[in-house]
């Protein structure tokens, strides 16, 4: 019977990882003892490096570690002639940590996101998003204005389900790829997709619903205060100004948090196979511990995703004469193909961001980045 523990979790809980401190202060990561020995024997790393298994352990010289003591002794023996060195390409098992490693991982996510199963998943999800937007647009034109809130709510719920399914499939494929060092196929993730998607939908719904409810409440509160009294006085006006200012500040804070939830909750819950409550708790803890690094990660990732999507958006906007803003009414014959093409144009952004956040999560969860406290 297959184990219920995900491959990335198995890989991370029983690691053979070494962290290497170079003389210039950089920290590299090697995924195995054998790989690190090969780099040392080939001369790609100096023998005066220091190594350790985790951030809780002190840095040690090679002669203090039994796995590498023979290599340190070999260099100290002057009577032995050095073995001839054969120039070879650096192996991909050493990875730079810190900001340089962060950028390297986001570039690695490019290659991972270009695999056919992931592109197919993103393209189908983008097209489905376009279809949902088309039906929502047509429905809102047919129902009374007082029921528009229900149309928006149903549309948001359907889009959330589509996003959760896409997140589940792409996260599972990427996690399997990173744990087995080979591309993954749909058949390997098909059995667990529904369960993961339900948990991701619940978690995102709780976070998104709480944030959206808070924002709507803050927006409606000034109008409610003004309408609750017949003649608003200076105190009411002052209260409205305070609430409006506070609403702007909190809303600026809430939108990035919603972005963190949409893109990070999937990897947290799928890679670790957490429940909804445990996943939300882990998400809050990760924001508290790595908020600055997550923000930097996402800023760079969104810049890359925007560059990928721009070549698809520009011809679409030019074809529909939307350059310069929506200055005229849009007919049904224009809105339907526009929304469909808009959903398809989201494919590169959706694909890359979801794949990149699996790389982000695994780095933040299982790696230790260079800082002055690491020394």
Q: What is the pLDDT of residues 289-300, one digit of tens each?
A: 888 888 888 888
> Which domain-ending residue is among 96, 119, 142?
96
Looking at the structure, do residues 62 and 106 belong to the same domain, yes or no? Answer: no
pLDDT at residue 372, as a whole number: 34
Asked whether residue 266 is assigned to any structural domain, the reply reads: yes
Chain position carrying tokens 């792409």: 170
Looking at the structure, do residues 181 and 242 belong to the same domain, yes or no? Answer: yes
pLDDT at residue 90, as a whole number: 42
pLDDT at residue 128, as a whole number: 93
Averaged over successive runs of 10 residues, the pLDDT of the chain (375 residues) comes to 46 62 72 80 79 80 84 55 46 50 75 87 92 90 88 92 93 84 78 88 92 88 81 80 89 86 89 89 88 85 89 82 52 79 88 90 64 36
The overall average pLDDT reported for the chain is 79
pLDDT at residue 7, as a whole number: 46
Looking at the structure, do residues 92 and 132 belong to the same domain, yes or no? Answer: no
> CA-to-CA distance for 314 and 326, rounded, in angstroms?
15
Looking at the structure, do residues 225 and 270 belong to the same domain, yes or no? Answer: yes
> Which domain-ending residue is among 58, 78, 96?
96
Looking at the structure, do residues 266 and 350 belong to the same domain, yes or no? Answer: yes
Token digits of residue 55: 């951030």
**What's the 3-state SS for the chain?**
CCCCCCHHHHHHHCCCCEEEECCCCCEEEECCHHHHHHHHHCCCCCCCCEEECCCCCCCEEHHHCCCCHHHHHHHHCCCCCCCCCCCCCCCCCEEECHHHHHHHHHHHHHHHHCCHHHHHHHHHHHHHHHHHHHHHHHHHHHCCHHHHHHHHHHHHHHHHHHHHHHHHHHHHHHHHHHHHCCCCCHHHCHHHHHHHHHHHHHHHHHHHHHHHHHHHHHHHHHHHHHHCCCCCCHHHHHHHHHHHHHHHHHHHHHHHHHHHHHHHHHHHHHHCCCCHHHHHHHHHHHHHHHHHHHHHHHHHHHHHHHHHHHHHHHHHHHHCCCCCCCCCCCCHHHHHHHHHHHHHHCHHHHHHHHHHHHHHHHHHHHCCCCCHHHC
pLDDT at residue 162, as a whole number: 94
Pairing of strands 94-96, 27-30: antiparallel
Q: How many domains does the chain have?
A: 2
Q: pTM here?
A: 0.69
pLDDT at residue 343, as a whole number: 87
Phi-psi region of 25 (alpha: psi -120 to 50; beta: other; left: phi over 0): left
Sequence-ordered list of residues with C-beta below 8 angstroms from that of 178, at least 6 positions apart, any chain: 8, 11, 358, 359, 362
Looking at the structure, do residues 56 and 146 belong to the same domain, yes or no? Answer: no
pLDDT at residue 26, as a whole number: 67
Asked whether residue 335 is assigned to any structural domain, the reply reads: yes
Looking at the structure, do residues 36 and 126 belong to the same domain, yes or no? Answer: no
pLDDT at residue 73, as a whole number: 62
pLDDT at residue 344, as a whole number: 87
Query: 37 is in which domain, residue-wise?
Result: 7-96
Asked whether residue 208 is assigned to any structural domain, the reply reads: yes
pLDDT at residue 30, as a whole number: 76
> Which domain-ending residue is among 41, 66, 96?
96
- Tell me the per-residue pLDDT of 62-95, one tens digit each, with 9 for 90 and over: 888 888 888 876 544 444 444 444 444 444 444 5
Chain position carrying tokens 């990173």: 178
pLDDT at residue 328, as a whole number: 52
Chain position carrying tokens 């939830």: 261
pLDDT at residue 15, as a whole number: 55
């Amino acid at each position: 019977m297959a184990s219920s523990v995900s491959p990335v979790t198995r890989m991370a809980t029983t690691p053979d990882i070494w962290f290497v401190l170079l003389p210039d202060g950089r920290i590299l990561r090697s995924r195995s003892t054998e790989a690190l020995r090969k780099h040392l024997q080939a001369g790609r790393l100096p023998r005066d490096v220091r190594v350790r298994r985790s951030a809780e352990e002190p840095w040690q010289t090679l002669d203090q570690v039994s796995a590498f003591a023979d290599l340190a002794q070999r260099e100290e023996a002057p009577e032995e002639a050095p073995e001839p060195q054969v120039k070879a390409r650096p192996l991909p098992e050493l990875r730079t940590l810190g900001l340089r490693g962060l950028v390297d991982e986001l570039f690695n996510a490019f290659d991972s996101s270009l695999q056919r199963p992931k592109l197919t998943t993103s393209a189908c999800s983008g097209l489905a998003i376009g279809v949902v937007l088309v039906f929502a647009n047509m429905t809102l034109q047919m129902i009374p204005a007082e029921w528009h809130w229900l149309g928006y709510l149903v549309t948001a719920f359907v889009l959330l389900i589509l996003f959760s399914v896409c997140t589940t499939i792409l996260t599972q494929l990427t996690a399997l790829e990173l744990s087995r060092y080979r591309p993954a196929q749909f058949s390997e993730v098909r059995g667990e997709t529904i369960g993961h998607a339900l948990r991701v939908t619940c978690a995102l719904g709780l976070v998104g619903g709480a944030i959206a409810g808070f924002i709507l409440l803050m927006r409606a509160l000034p109008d409610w205060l003004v309408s609750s009294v017949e003649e608003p006085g200076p105190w009411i006006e002052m209260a409205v100004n305070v609430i409006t200012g506070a609403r702007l500040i909190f809303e600026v804070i809430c939108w990035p948090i919603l972005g963190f939830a949409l893109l990070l909750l999937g990897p947290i819950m799928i890679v670790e196979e957490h429940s909804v409550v445990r996943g939300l708790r882990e998400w809050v803890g990760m924001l508290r511990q790595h908020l600055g690094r997550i923000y930097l990660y996402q800023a760079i990732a969104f810049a890359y995703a925007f560059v990928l999507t721009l070549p698809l958006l520009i011809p679409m906007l030019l074809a529909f004469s939307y350059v310069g803003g929506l200055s005229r009414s849009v007919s049904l014959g224009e809105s339907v193909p526009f929304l469909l093409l808009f959903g398809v144009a989201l494919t590169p952004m959706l694909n890359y961001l979801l794949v990149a956040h699996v790389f982000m999560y695994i780095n933040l969860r299982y790696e230790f980045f260079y800082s002055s406290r690491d020394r």
